[in-house]
Amino acid sequence: MPFVSQYGFLPLSAPPGKEALYNPAQCASMDAAAPGFGVSIEQLMQAAASAVARTVQRHWPQGVVLFLCGPGNNGGDALVAAQILREQGRVVSVFSLVDPSVRQGTAAWAQSQWQGRWERQCPDFRRFSVVVDGLLGAGLDRDVEGDTAALIQSLAASKVPVCAIDVPSGLDGASGQVRGVLAPATVTVSFVRYKPGHVLYPGRTLCGKLELADIGMPAPALQQANTWLNEPALWQAYLPQLGAQSHKYTRGHALVVGGEQMTGASRLAARAAQRAGAGLVSMAVPPSVWPVYAGALDSIMVAPLGDTLTTDERIRAWLIGPGAGLGEQTRRLTLALLATERPCVLDADAISSFAQQPQELLDALHEQCVLTPHAGEFARVFETAPDRLEAARLAARQCGAVLVLKGADTVIAAPDGRALINACAPPWLATGGSGDVLAGLVCGLLTQGMPAFEAAGAAVWLHSQAALEFGPGLIPEDLIAVLPRVWQRLLSRA
């Protein structure tokens, strides 16, 4: 899709089988475990350095290369990579952030590999074709200050291409947040698996082109993952299966609650539930606006909203929130739907109506519920934090339901701690009504018996892929129109 890069956005995907995202603490544990399975830390460092050297040769085959080396293993990777390039005939300079005598452990071994000269003071970056950033690792847990901050600021100001080792220095590899200062990378080389900080914003835009290198980490040393890039491999096995004798009732009956004023929102959601595969979709709407809905919908049944709504055992999943209106009526109806203990999607007003009584909502939710708030709606009920991944994970655990924290880097979190990060949503998806379509997709998949976490992940992916399929100029109705093509491509993978 050639137009995508014009918006400063490229969809990110993982190599097959490498969808897991490991945070820096997990990576450190894997490094420590590797020697027990026959692979030394020095071997891992040599492999990582070789990957960095290959990247430099591929992207910057000419000119002088400067390596900036910090005190830890990130700096060790840089030192070994510098020696590899030197042996290949490249002109290489090395500047160490610390006195070489203070390096310890594997970093000291890496220093012993370097046979070239040291830059005694920070050089003019403009002398070099590329600067390899090996200053600070992904496990940064404090703001960068002092001489290190000044060096990074100088690098950023130089506009010289940067090849970052693992993450650009100053980036928190767990959250994607900038810790004080950062020089954006042109290319970032990471190892084993991507980290959440590569995928979450603003880190996503600061890493440049991401490359993932296999450095021979023994399979038994890999940590149990609880965070993944949102890819079909994680939920495709749970997609509804159509049989030769399937009919509309076996595919499930979804009900979407409509409101009095913003009638378009719930209609979009209902149509999206149809496109997700629900066999039947009904709407329950206030009697005063029944003609508005009935006159606009052909294949969706419309009924007046009444007290008998929750007694219909044929309904497999509910959706309330889009266009429902803020207030007591929405709050009471939401609680009534939740009390049925059937799958339920809560969006928009169904969440915000509990801003004054958040605990009432939290107490009513259950594991078959999916909440789809944007950041503002989320903040009305849950505790916010710069780390979107951990904020969503904590909220899901707190409410006992699946939570979809919408945004450019949508996070899908389950109560048991599992989380997905979506990395394929284009910026033109940011348009009024697109969230209503997403809520409808989730409801349609729940209606067909898909588990809540997997249904949410699939819906978010389908939603993003539909936006990519259509391109700039998209309006919510376009998502619904192109979904069949996205479904066809997805099902052809199976």
Tally Cβ neighbours within 10 Å of residue 250. 13
pLDDT(5) > 80: no
Place 6 in a pLDDT band, splitting at 50, 70 and 90: low
The model's pTM:
0.95
Can you give the pLDDT at residue 213?
97
Q: What percent of the chain has pLDDT over 90?
A: 86
Distance, CA of 273 to CA of 277 (rounded, Å): 7
Question: So where are the chain's domains?
Answer: 15-225, 232-493
Instruction: Provide CB contacts within 8 A for 219, sequence distance 6+.
Output: none
Q: 49, 56, 44: which is closest to 113 by C-alpha?
A: 49
Distance, CA of 215 to CA of 50 (rounded, Å): 9
Q: At what angle do helices 452-470 and 434-447 cross, to 10 degrees?
A: 140
Distance, CA of 413 to CA of 196 (rounded, Å): 14
Architecture of domain 15-225: 3-Layer(aba) Sandwich (3.40)
DSSP state of 47: H
Can you give the pLDDT at residue 104?
86
Annotated binding site for AMP: 406-410, 435
Pair 406, 373: CB distance under 8 Å:
yes
Q: What percent of the chain has pLDDT over 70?
A: 98
CA distances from 439 to 25, 118, 122, 139, 319 (A): 34, 58, 53, 36, 7
Q: Which CATH class is domain 232-493?
A: alpha beta
Per residue in 21-58, pLDDT tens?
999 999 999 999 999 999 999 999 999 999 999 999 99
Per residue in 140-199, pLDDT tens?
989 999 999 999 999 999 999 999 999 999 999 999 999 999 999 999 999 999 999 999
Q: 138, 243, 177: which is closest to 386 by C-alpha?
A: 177
Distance, CA of 166 to CA of 159 (rounded, Å): 20
Amino acid at site 375: A
Per residue in 202-244, pLDDT tens?
999 999 999 999 999 999 999 999 999 999 999 999 999 888 8
Annotated binding site for (6S)-NADPHX: 73-77, 137-143, 166, 265, 323, 374, 436
Distance, CA of 393 to CA of 387 (rounded, Å): 10
Token readout for 233 is: 């491999």
Q: 185, 186, 168: which is closest to 177 by C-alpha?
A: 168
On average, the pLDDT of the chain sits at 95
Token readout for 106 is: 């594997």
Longest CA–CA span in the chain (Å) reads: 82
Q: How far is CA 263 from the centre of its chain?
A: 31
Token readout for 262 is: 């913003």
Written as one string, the DSSP assignment of 394-463 is HHHHHHTSEEEE-STT-EEE-TTS-EEE-----GGG-STTHHHHHHHHHHHHHHTT--HHHHHHHHHHHH
**Helix (H/G/I), strand (E/B), else coil: 283:** strand
Can you give the pLDDT at residue 3?
43
pLDDT(446) > 70: yes
Q: Regarding beta strands 369-371 and 317-320, do their DSSP bridges make them parallel or antiparallel, or are they unpaired?
A: unpaired
Backbone angles phi, psi at 366, to 5 degrees: -145, 175
Distance, CA of 468 to CA of 425 (rounded, Å): 7
Calculate mean pLDDT across residues 406-434. Answer: 98
Annotated binding site for K(+): 74, 133, 169
Can you give the pLDDT at residue 4?
47
Calculate mean pLDDT across residues 294-323. Answer: 91
Pair 366, 340: CB distance under 8 Å:
no
Backbone angles phi, psi at 130, to 5 degrees: -155, 145
Q: 171, 184, 234: which is closest to 387 by C-alpha?
A: 171
Distance, CA of 53 to CA of 85 (rounded, Å): 6
Annotated binding site: 73-77, 133, 137-143, 166, 169, 265, 323, 374, 406-410, 435-436
Core vs surface per residue 281-304: b (16+ CB within 10 A) or e: bbbbbbeebbebbbeebeebebbe
Instruction: Provide CB contacts within 8 A for 274, sequence distance 6+.
Output: 281, 299, 300, 444
Distance, CA of 388 to CA of 208 (rounded, Å): 21
pLDDT(463) > 50: yes
Calculate mean pLDDT across residues 483-490. Answer: 98
Per residue in 383-404, pLDDT tens?
999 999 999 999 999 999 999 9
Calculate mean pLDDT across residues 255-267. Answer: 95
pLDDT(2) > 80: no
Pair 272, 436: CB distance under 8 Å:
yes
Q: Regarding beta strands 227-229 and 419-421, do their DSSP bridges make them parallel or antiparallel, or are they unpaired?
A: parallel
Calculate mean pLDDT across residues 349-365. Answer: 98
